[in-house]
Chain A
Amino acid sequence: MSTRCRWILFGQGSLRNIPATTRAALPKSVSSLSVFTITDHHHSHQETRHILSHSSFFSRDFHESSAARTHSPDKCPSTPCRLPSNFLSALQSRHPELKISTNPYDLDSHGHGESYHPSSPPDAVIYPSTVEEIRDILSLCCREVLDDESDSANKDGNDKLTIVEVVSVIPYGAGTSVEGHLNMLLPTEDQILQVPSSMFTGHDGSDTHRTIKIRRRGGISIDMSNFQQIGNVETGDLFVKVGAGVTRNALNEALRHTGLQFMVDPGADASIGGMVACGASGTAAVKYGTMRENVLALTAVLPPTKILSSHSAAFSDIAKPDIVHCGSTALKSSAGYNLTALLTGSEGTLGIITDCTVKLHPIHNNVIAAVCAFDDLHTAAEAVTTIRMMGIPVSRIELLDEMSVHAFNKSLQCTERSEASKEKDSKLQLQPMELKPTLFMEFSAHSEKAVQEDLSAAQIICVDDFDGTNFVSASDEETRQALWAARHRLYYSSIALRSGDGEREGATPRSTLLTDACVPLSHFADILSATARDVKELGVVGPCFGHAGDGNFHCIMPMVESDTEDYRKRVFQVNENLIRRVISVGGTCTGEHGVGYGKKKYLERMYGKGGIQLMTSVKKALDPWNVMNPGKIVDL
C-alpha cells in the first residue's frame, strides 16, 4: 500500500487518530510510539500553544484553528503544475526570502475550508510578508505571451490575436470557510475578447483595440499568515489595527489586559482578514453586530487591471496594481463611497485585504448566563421575538432544537474521549439536558442591578408568557460554562451523531452540510420549525439551531461515506427547501457564511437581474481579467 503520511510526532497522544487503514499496517511494536494530531478541540488555546511550542517537529503549516485537520492523505493530488513556466522563478529571484510551496500537502490544505466542498488545490502557495510582495505577485497574474500558439493564430487569422495568460489568486486566512471559498475553480474555456490597447502596459498611445485570447494558467493561494501585526490601543480608543492574518483568538489574547475585546465570534478561530472578506458573524452579533458593523477601515491590494505586455519589464511600477485605504478610524464617517463595505463580504473576488482596523468593546463586570426549555420549537422562537420586541438587552441568545440537545446528551456518554476532556466535564458537573427545544441566553451590563433587571424581564417572558420550564441562571464563570456547554459543543456533538464504528469512518466537518439562512424575526419561528419538520420528514440527521435574536439559523447535516445517493439527495433537499422558503419571505440565502459558489444561483432570486448586473459591473471594473477567486459570487 502506498500511503503518504504526514506526522506530528511528540509527547502523548493516541494511535486512534491515525486513519484505520494506516494503523492496520503498522507493526505491533509501533504501539509504543506516540502520535498526536490536533483534533481535540477541548484543549484550550493556551494549552495547545504550550504543547506545540515545546514540540521538536512543529509543523509551520499548523494553523491554530482548533477544527483544522489535514484531510486524508490518500486524497493528496500530484497533478502537474499549470502555472506559466517562469511565474514562480521570476517571483523567487525578485524576492529570494519569499516562501513559495508546491508541496502537495500545502496545496491540498489550501484548496479547501471546513465544508463538504471537496478540495480544489491551487498550483502553488505563496506566503508574502509585505504589501509590496503581494503587488509584485499580482502584477504577474495577467501577462501577454508570445509563443507558438500566438504565432500560428496570427499567421492564420487576419487580425492579430494576442495571447494573455491569467493566473488566478485566492487569498487564504485560516481556512475556516464553510462555503467553498478556497476552492480554486478555474474557467474551463479560454475567452476571446476585444480590449482597448490602453489596457496593455506597453501601450503605444494609439486609440485602437486588440483581440486577445485569455488562457487560464492555474492558480495560486496567497497565504496571509505572515501578516500578524497587532497595533497598540491608545487609551480612550475603541479600535485596533491588525494584519489580515491575525486570528481573532490571538487578537483577544493580545488584548487581554486592556479590558477590551473584539466581539465578533463565529466559533472558529478565523483570521480577521478572512472574517472581513466573508462578512463573518456569530453569537455576539445580536448585541455587537456582524463584521460589517465592526470594521472601520482596511487596506487592500487591488487586482491587476493592466495586461503586462511581453516587452514591458516585469515588476515595473506601471504593472503593479493599486493599494487602496478604505474607511477611517473615526467612529462615524460620511466621506464618499463606502469602499470598506464594498470589500466586506467580497469573498476575495475584489482584492486582497492586508490589514483591518476593527472595533473593540469593553468587557462588562456583570455577566449572567441563563437556560430555559420550551415545549416546542415554535414557542421558543416566539419567546425570542418577544424579548427582542420588548427591547430587553441580550448579549447572546441561541436556540437549540431537540436533536441538538440529544447530540449533547449523547456526547456526554461518549467513552472515546481524552482523559483531559472527561476531567473537564466532571469538573463542570455536566449533566444530560431535558430533551426539549432550549434557549441559551447571556446578559451583561455595567452594573449588577442592570443585569439582574434584564435577566428577570427575559425570565418573565420565557416562563410566564411562553410556558418555559427549568429556567436556570448563573453568574460565576464555571457554572456559566456548564450551562452553555450544549451550545458550545454543538458543532462537534452534532457531527458525532454520525460517528464511525471502528471499521468505517464517521462524519467530519469535511463531510457535513452546514446550512445558513436569515429571515425577518416575524417569520423566524415558522421557517425554523418548517426546517426542523423537513429534517424529520425526510429522515436525515440534522440538528437545527439559531442565532435566534437575529433570525439566523443553521442546520448541521453530517454525512458519512457509506451514505446512499438518496440520503445525500435528501440532505441537499433540506437546504434547497429552506432557502426557497427563506427567500420567499424576504430573507437571505446566507446570513453569515457567504455565497462561495454553491449559493450563486440564489442571488438572482434575491436581487433580480438588475442586482446581478450591478455586481457584475463592479467585479468587471475592479477585476477585468477575473484574476481574483473566479467563480465566486458572480461569473464574468
Chain B
Amino acid sequence: MKILVPIKRVIDYAIKIRVDPSKGPHAVQQANVKMSMNPFCEIAVEEAIRLKEAKQNKDDEVVAVSIGPKQCSETIRTALAMGADRGIHIETKGDVRGDYIDLQPWGIANLLKGVVEKEDKVDLVLLGKQSIDSDCGQTGPLLAGLLNAPQATFAAKVTRGDDGSFVVDRETDAGTETIKLKTANVPAVITCDLRLNTPRYPTMPNIMKAKKKSVQVISLEDMVKELGLNLDDVLKPRNQVVEVYEPPPRKEGEFVESVDALVGKLKEKGLVG
C-alpha cells in the first residue's frame, strides 16, 4: 500500500496573526513568525501512519509531499519523524506565498496530480480538509476531480477493507455518513477532519532517525517541466485577493443587574422568543 500525504507549512495555529493593512493583499505578516505543519495535515500524516501500522506490511509506504520554500524541508522532516517513510519537496522561490496569494488550490492540485501519476500505484491520497491560512478546503476535491478519483471529505474515521477499498465515516451537519471508496487504477482521495485522530508528538529518537530518511528536493520549475505542465497554469492565481483586514475589535459586553433585565435584553436582540 502506498499513501501520499500532501502537507502544508503555515503560520503556527497558536500564534496571533498580525495584519499590516498598509501592505494590501500581503497584509498578513509572515516574516519571523513561527511556522508549523497545518494541523489538519498533521492529522492526515497521523492517519496514514496508523493505516500503515495496522497492516504491518514491510512494503507499505507513506510519502509526504510539500510545496513551498526552503524551510518546507523542516515540515517534511516532522512528517518523517512521525513515521512517514520518505518525502518530496517541491521547492518554490522564497517570495512565493503559499497562503492563497500566489500558490492556490488549482495549481497545487495540478502539481499533486502529476506527483500521483509519477509515483505510480498510489492507493490513497490523504489530505487535511483545509489549511488554516486560506481555509479553502479545495485542494482535495480538485485533486479528486483531476484524477477522476473517488473522494470523501471531512473524514472522522478511515478503515481499509481487505479488498483494498477504504471505508470512511464523514461528519456532516446532518449527521455521520459512511462511504465506501473503491480503488482500481486511481487512488482514493480522503480529506481529514479534526476528530479523526490526535497526532502523535514525534519522539527524539524518531526525530534523529528522520534525518536519515530520503527527501527528494526539486524546484517548482523543474517539477513543472518534468510533469509536462505549464508553469503559468500552476503559479497564476485563479482568484485575486482584493483586501485583507482584521475584524473590528470586539465590543465590551454589557452588565445587567438582574435576570429579568438579562431576559429583556435577549428578547430585544431577538435571541429569545
Contacts and interface: CB of A to CB of B under 8 A. Distances in A.
In the complex, which of the residues A253, A260, A363 has the most CB atoms of chain B within 10 Å of its own CB atom?
A363
Given A58-B250, A253-B14, A257-B81, A44 B198 contact: yes
A4 B201 CA distance: 43
Contacts of A57: 253
Contacts of A539: none
A2 B258 contact: yes
A50 interface: yes
Interface in B220-273: 250, 253, 255-260, 262-263, 266, 271-273
In the complex, which of the residues B37, B203, B207, B273 has the most CB atoms of chain A within 10 Å of its own CB atom?
B203
A4 B202 CA distance: 47
Given A1-B259, A259-B206, 5 more contacts: A4-B255, A7-B262, A27-B263, A44-B198, A363-B203
A446 B78 contact: no
A359 to B, nearest CB: 14
Contacts of B194: 47, 50
17 contacts: A1-B258, A1-B259, A2-B258, A4-B256, A25-B260, A30-B272, A32-B273, A50-B194, A57-B253, A256-B201, A257-B36, A259-B203, A259-B207, A260-B204, A362-B203, A363-B203, A364-B203
Interface of B: 12, 14, 34, 36-37, 78, 81, 194, 198, 200-207, 250, 253, 255-260, 262-263, 266, 271-273
A2 B256 CA distance: 9
Contacts of A27: 263
Given A33-B271, A44-B198, A259-B81, A5 B203 contact: no
A446 B205 contact: yes
A183 interface: no
Interface size class on chain A is: 35 or more
B266 A5 contact: no
In the complex, which of the residues A57, A259, A364 has the most CB atoms of chain B within 10 Å of its own CB atom?
A259
Contacts of B250: 56, 58
Given A32-B273, A253-B14, A257-B81, A26 B259 contact: yes
The A interface is mostly helix, strand or loop, or mixed, namely: loop
The B interface is mostly helix, strand or loop, or mixed, namely: loop
A4 B207 CA distance: 53
Interface in A49-67: 50, 56-58
A253 B34 CA distance: 13
Interface in A479-528: none
Contacts of A29: 272-273
Interface string A1-34: 1111101000000000000001001110110110
B9 to A, nearest CB: 12
A458 to B, nearest CB: 22
A33 B262 CA distance: 13
In the complex, which of the residues A32, A57, A258, A446 has the most CB atoms of chain B within 10 Å of its own CB atom?
A258
Contacts of A5: 256, 259, 262
Contacts of B259: 1, 3, 5, 22, 25-26
Nearest to B273: A29
Contacts of B272: 29-30, 32-33
Top 9 closest A-B pairs, CB basis? A362-B204, A259-B204, A259-B207, A363-B203, A25-B259, A256-B201, A29-B273, A365-B203, A2-B258
A261 interface: yes
A30 B263 contact: yes
A124 B261 CA distance: 27
Contacts of A33: 266, 271-272
A289 B78 CA distance: 29
